[in-house]
Amino acid sequence: MDSSALQFHRRLSIAPMLDFTDRHERYFLRLLSKHVLLYTEMIVANALLHAAEKFIQRNAEENPVAVQLGGSDPKMLAECAKIVEDAGFDEVNLNCGCPSERVQCGSFGAILMKNKNLVAECVQAMQSQVKIPVTVKTRLGVDDLTSFEFFEDFIDTVHAAGCNTFIIHARTARLRGYSPKENREKPAIQYESVYRLKEERPELNISINGDIKNLEQAKEHLKRVDGVMMGRAVYANPWMLHSADAEIFGKENSAPETREELLELFTPYVEKELAAGCPLSILVKHLFGLFAGLPGGRKYRQILSEGAAQGAGAEILKKAISAVQSAQE
Ligand SMILES: Cc1cc2nc3c(=O)[nH]c(=O)nc-3n(C[C@H](O)[C@H](O)[C@H](O)COP(=O)(O)O)c2cc1C
C-alpha cells in the first residue's frame, strides 16, 4: 500500500497495547471496520531478531497493520524494519512513549525523548532499509522536559531524519514515581499542544491519542489533526467501531448488523485457532466488552470466562449469544 493510501486509514487507528492488540484482537476488529489502521503490540527488537516467526504472526485479513517496535539500537531496528516489511505489514512504528521501568532498562520507550539524536539515527537506519513508512509514537515530553519548545524540537529533529508521521499521546510521561497505568491517566491531557504542533508544522501527518472515548470525539479531533488513535475505549467497547467506516472514512459500513452476527462471523476463526492449539482464554478475552452495559452483558462475559477456564470449545460463543438473547426477550 502506498503512503497516501495508508494516510487515509490513519484517520482512525487502534493503539498498540501489550497483551491486548494481538493478532486475534486485530482479526476481530477487522470484522468491524475495513478501514481502521491496526497496530500490533510493541515488539522488542531483540526478541524479534531472535524469534521473528513467533512475534510477527498475522492473518492476511488483518491489513492494514502497523508493527510497533521497541528498541534503541539503529542497526537492530533497521534489521527489524526489513523483517516487518518482508512479512507484509504496512508501516513500522518506533515506540518513544512507553514509560514502564522494564522498558527504561532497555533504554527505549519514553526515555528516548531525552535523546532526540539517537531517535533520529534509529529512524534513518530503519528508513534506509524499507519502503513502508517509518513512524514514531511519542508523548508531549518526559519528566521535567515539558515545554512545547522541547517537544517541537524533538519532532523537528526526528522529522529531519525522514519521519513524517507522528502519533502523539497528548500527555507527558513521568519515568519515576508513576506506574505505567498512572502514566496513562496523569498528568492531565493537553490536546491543545498537539493541535498547535499541527498548526505550526502543517506538512507533518499528526495523529492524536489519549482518552478519546467515542467516534463523536474522534470526529471533533479530525477537524484539527490528520488522525485519531484510540486504545482503551475501543478495547472496552469494540462495537463502537461498527459505524466507523461510514462515520470516519465516508465509506459504506462493513460490519455485520448485530453483535450476535459478529460473533457468528468470528466463530470459524475461533475453531481454526483452537484446532491449531491456541487456548480459548486467549481468543475470547477480546470479546468480553462486546455487550458491555447491555442486558445480559454480565452473564455473557461470565459464560465466556468460565468456559475458557473449563477448556470449552467454540460452542461457548453460541451459548453466550443465547444468554444475551434470553436476557433481552
Ligand atoms: C494495556 C495497555 C498496553 C499498552 N501497551 C502499549 C504498547 O505496547 N506500546 C505503546 O506505544 N503504547 C501502549 N499503550 C498505550 C496506548 O497505546 C495509548 O497510548 C494509551 O492507552 C492512551 O490512549 P487511550 O486513552 O485511547 O487508551 C498501552 C496501553 C494499555 C492500556
- Whether the CB-CB separation of 119 and 112 falls below 8 Å is answered with yes
16 assigned to a ligand binding site: yes
Atom of ligand 1 nearest to the CA of 181: 31
- CA-CA distance, 215 to 126, in Å (whole number)? 33
- Are residue 171 and residue 84 in the same domain, yes or no? yes
Query: Where residue 132 sits, what CATH number does that domain have?
Result: 3.20.20.70
Which residues is 69 bridged to in the sheet?
A: 43, 94
Query: Which residues are identified as catalytic?
Result: 98
- What tens digit of pLDDT does each residue of 282-303 get? 999 999 999 999 999 999 999 9
Instruction: Check whether residue 70 and residue 176 sit in a common domain.
Output: yes
The predicted model gives 196-200 an average pLDDT of: 98
Percent of the chain with pLDDT over 90: 84
- Residue 206's contacts (CB-CB under 8 Å, 6 or more residues apart) are 165, 166, 168, 194, 197, 198, 225, 226, 227
- Tell me whether residue 253 is in a domain: no
Does pLDDT of 178 surpass 90?
Answer: no
Instruction: Give the three cell numbers for residue 52.
Output: 521473528
List C-alpha distances in Å: 127 to 26, 109, 121, 267, 312: 25, 19, 10, 39, 46
Quote the number of domains for the chain.
Answer: 2
Task: Name residues whose C-beta falls within 8 Å of residue 318's C-beta, 6 or more positions apart in sequence.
Answer: 267
Does some domain include residue 200? yes
Residue from 95, 100, 113, 184 whose mutation best tests the ligand 1 pocket (most atoms within 8 A of CB)? 184
As a whole number, mean pLDDT of residues 191-209 equals: 98
112 and 132 part of one domain = yes
Q: Residues 83-110: pLDDT tens digits? A: 999 999 999 999 999 887 666 667 789 8
Residues 229 and 272 in one domain: no
Is 80 in the same domain as 164? yes
Query: Do residue 290 and residue 312 come from a single domain?
Result: yes
Ligand 1 centroid from CA 94, angstroms: 13
Q: Which atom of ligand 1 is nearest to the CA of 230?
A: 26
Which of 43, 232, 240, 285 has most ligand 1 atoms within 8 Å of its beta carbon, as the pocket-test mutant? 232
Same domain, 219 and 271: no
Phi then psi for residue 179, to 5 deg, are -75, 165
What is d(CA 64, CA 249) in angstroms, rounded to the nearest whole number?
Answer: 14
Same domain, 25 and 46: yes
The answer on 16 and 124 residing in a single domain is yes
Same domain, residue pair 7 and 141: yes
CB 209 within 8 A of CB 168: yes
Question: Could you say which of 247, 278, 297 is where a domain stops?
Answer: 247
Domain around 53: 3-247
- pLDDT tens profile 111-157: 999 999 999 999 999 999 999 999 999 999 999 999 999 999 999 99
The answer for 91, left when phi > 0, alpha when psi is -120 to 50, beta otherwise, is beta
- In angstroms, the CA 154 to CA 141 distance is 9
Domain match, 168 and 269 both: no
Q: Would residue 254 count as lying in a domain?
A: no
Tell whether 109 is in a known binding site. Answer: no
CATH of the domain at 323: 1.20.120.1460
Task: Please give the mean pLDDT across all residues of the chain.
Answer: 94
Q: What average pLDDT does range 186-215 have in this prediction?
A: 97
Q: How many CA atoms lie within 13 A of 198 on its CB side?
A: 22
Query: Does 68 count as an annotated binding residue?
Result: yes
